Amino acid sequence: MAGFVDLYTEADTFLHRMDPRVKIIAVLLLSLLAFILSSLSYLLILLAFIFLLLFLARASFSRTTFALKFVLRFMVLIIVLWPIFDPSGSPALASLGPIKITEPAIWRGVTSATRVGCLATVWYILMFTTSQRDLIRALVKMGLRFDFGLTLAISLRFLPTFGALIDSIKDAQRARGLELSKGGLLKRSRNYVAILVPTIVSALRTADMLSLALQSRAYGARSDRTYLRDLKMRASDGVALGMLVAAFVLPALAKYVFNIEI
């Protein structure tokens, strides 16, 4: 279970210093932009821009390849399967019974795959450059209730703990003779019951202890709580936000008000 959970890489780039709220808005706007753009060349430019940002964020090579492996497989599968199910357009390149492979369908598949690639990689700008603590702090600052933010923080904090717990229970049950790598899918999954029951019981005990700990630290005593580190928008954050909004609004205007095909 190497490289578990936290995608965040420590560095000191302009993306790391940027206000996490701006980064969250950036991810949302760039995703919407990917839906607006419909021609392959513009989508490729957007994809290149996202990769440029990832490069500038000094994302570590091994983590990026881990993240991209899934995306690439996904894109290849779309390109291969799209033309088989989309017989519209001409000229037809090949046909077999009801299945007809046409040239425009292939291009549509490539376009859709590029869009999916944009949507899948834009997340990593946020995930690689923002620590979990800052992310939740930004969400709370944006209006998420504090107690919901705390729940989210608890779940992120306990994720690696339970990952390690499952691993050690797995080892313990294997030492007692449980086989996890033999048999069919159903049998193998059935054997997981012996691991999941102790895990869940131990997790529920943890929840009881945790609620006592929360109460003993005066959780919910006052509603006007303060924070040690407060988020502040700086001038550079404002500039970045303005540029992002422009990058989203201008193409949208061009497409839906002036009817320019992009």
Partner 1 sequence: MSLGEELGQTFRDVFLSKTAPLAWSLVLLLVVLVVYYLYSRASERRRLGAGAPANFVSPKTVALYGILTALTAAVTYASYLPFSPTKGYFNLGETMVFFSALAIGWREGAICGGIGSAAADILLGSGIYAPITALAKGAEGFVAGILGRLKGGTHWGPVLGIVLGLLLAVAASWPLPGKVWGVDEWLILLFLFLAVWAAVFIVFQKWKGLLSIATPIILGIAAGGAVMVVSYFMGEYFLLNVGLGKALAEVPINVAQVVIGGTIGGLLSFYVKRSYPALASR
**Residue numbers 31-50 binding partner 1 by CB under 8 A:** 31-32, 35-36, 38
Residue with tokens 């702090």: 137
Under the criterion CB under 8 A, does residue 17 sit at the interface with partner 1?
Answer: no
Mask of contacts with partner 1, 60-79, x by CB under 8 A? ------xxxxxx-xx--xx-
Q: Helix and strand tally (H, E) in the chain?
A: 10, 2
Q: How many residues bind partner 1 (CB under 8 A)?
A: 86
Chain positions 80 to 119 lying near partner 1, rule: CB under 8 A, are: 81-82, 84-87, 98, 109, 112, 115-116, 119
Under the criterion CB under 8 A, does residue 249 sit at the interface with partner 1?
Answer: no
Region binding partner 1 by CB under 8 A among candidate stretches 15-23, 40-48, 149-157, 171-179: 149-157
Chain positions 208 to 247 lying near partner 1, rule: CB under 8 A, are: 208, 210-211, 214-215, 219-225
Under the criterion CB under 8 A, does residue 156 sit at the interface with partner 1?
Answer: yes
Strand partners, 99: 96
Query: 114 with 44: CB under 8 angstroms?
Result: yes
Q: How far is Cα 145 from Cα 41, in angstroms, rounded to an integer?
A: 42
State the number of CA atoms in the 13 A half-sphere of 131 facing the CB. Answer: 8
**For partner 1, the closer CB: 42 or 123:** 123
Output the smallest distance, CB 238 to partner 1, in A. 20
Region binding partner 1 by CB under 8 A among candidate stretches 9-17, 43-51, 140-148, 171-179: 140-148
Query: 16 with 58: CB under 8 angstroms?
Result: no
**For partner 1, the closer CB: 217 or 235:** 217
Residue with tokens 């003779």: 177
Phi-psi region of 89 (alpha: psi -120 to 50; beta: other; left: phi over 0): left
**For partner 1, the closer CB: 171 or 236:** 171
Q: How far is Cα 120 from Cα 115, in angstroms, rounded to an integer?
A: 9
Output the smallest distance, CB 143 to partner 1, in A. 4
Both tokens assigned to 29: 């706007």
Helix (H) or strand (E) holding 93: strand 92-96
Chain positions 159 to 198 lying near partner 1, rule: CB under 8 A, are: 159, 161-163, 165-167, 170, 185-186, 189-190, 192-193, 196-197
Q: How far is CA 67 from CA 31, 58, 64, 120, 122, in A?
A: 18, 15, 5, 9, 11
